[in-house]
Amino acid sequence: MASIVGICNRALQKLGSQAIVSLTENTRNGRSVNRAYDSVRRAELENHPWAFATKHASLAADAPSPQWGRQNAFTLPTDFVRLLTDYPEYLSNADDYQIEDGKIITNQDAPLKIRYTSDVTDVSKFTPLFCEVLACKLAVEMAAEITQSAGISTEVNDQYEKEIRKAKKQNAFQSRPAQAPDDTWITARN
């Protein structure tokens, strides 16, 4: 089972550096992973619509409504990272919205149903490939500070690119493709 320290040690291993015992360890490696872990984890969650981090929510409208423009505001969930589009089979995504100040501003009525990427902090929910992607990205971010070598930085960045492609491909297999609805161009000809 993966752990935060395990993922960080995997990143340090990629850099040929000494492992840590905890994120609060007062060593150069400990301080480096402590500074990098949360921001890199959140960035990687935002980078792709990971199946393990996808959630649904039904949001109530805020009161009062916006003073002008769109008619409703909905406060985003506290674990919100990225708004996901409706399911791919909904080709006519005519939703008009804007994300401002932690809210979705739209003309849609309440409740607003959304799909979003959540801020998953529980490492046990990460897929093994996401753990490897996260370790690679941590290594990329920490390479200059820990190794002072541009060569290692380039090498771990190449590993990251390879791992992110594998992880995204595997993530795509988590959903069955939906059958697309009849296209209006085709149905008009019938």
What does the pLDDT average to over 50-60? 92
Report pLDDT for 91.
Answer: 46
Give how far the C-alpha of residue 129 lies from the chain's centroid of Cα atoms, to the nearest Å.
Answer: 14
Task: Spell out the long-range contacts of 9-13 with Cβ–Cβ below 8 A and sequence spacing 24 or more.
Answer: 10/131, 10/132, 10/135, 11/134, 11/135, 11/136, 11/138, 11/139, 11/142, 12/139, 12/142, 12/146
* Residue 177 binned pLDDT confidence (cut-offs 50, 70, 90): low
Report pLDDT for 148.
Answer: 82
- Which of helix, strand or coil describes residue 96? coil
* Residue 62 binned pLDDT confidence (cut-offs 50, 70, 90): confident
What does the pLDDT average to over 144-158? 85
Which conformational region is residue 69 in: left (phi greater than 0), alpha (psi within -120 to 50 degrees), or beta?
left
Mean pLDDT of the chain, nearest integer: 86
What does the pLDDT average to over 58-66? 85
Q: Give the model confidence (pLDDT) of 86-121 as tens digits.
A: 655 454 455 678 888 888 888 888 888 889 999 999
Residue predicted with more confidence, 178 or 37: 37
pLDDT above 70 as % of the chain: 86
Q: Give the model confidence (pLDDT) of 3-54 as tens digits.
A: 999 999 999 999 999 999 998 999 999 999 999 999 999 999 999 999 999 9
* Residue 81 binned pLDDT confidence (cut-offs 50, 70, 90): very high
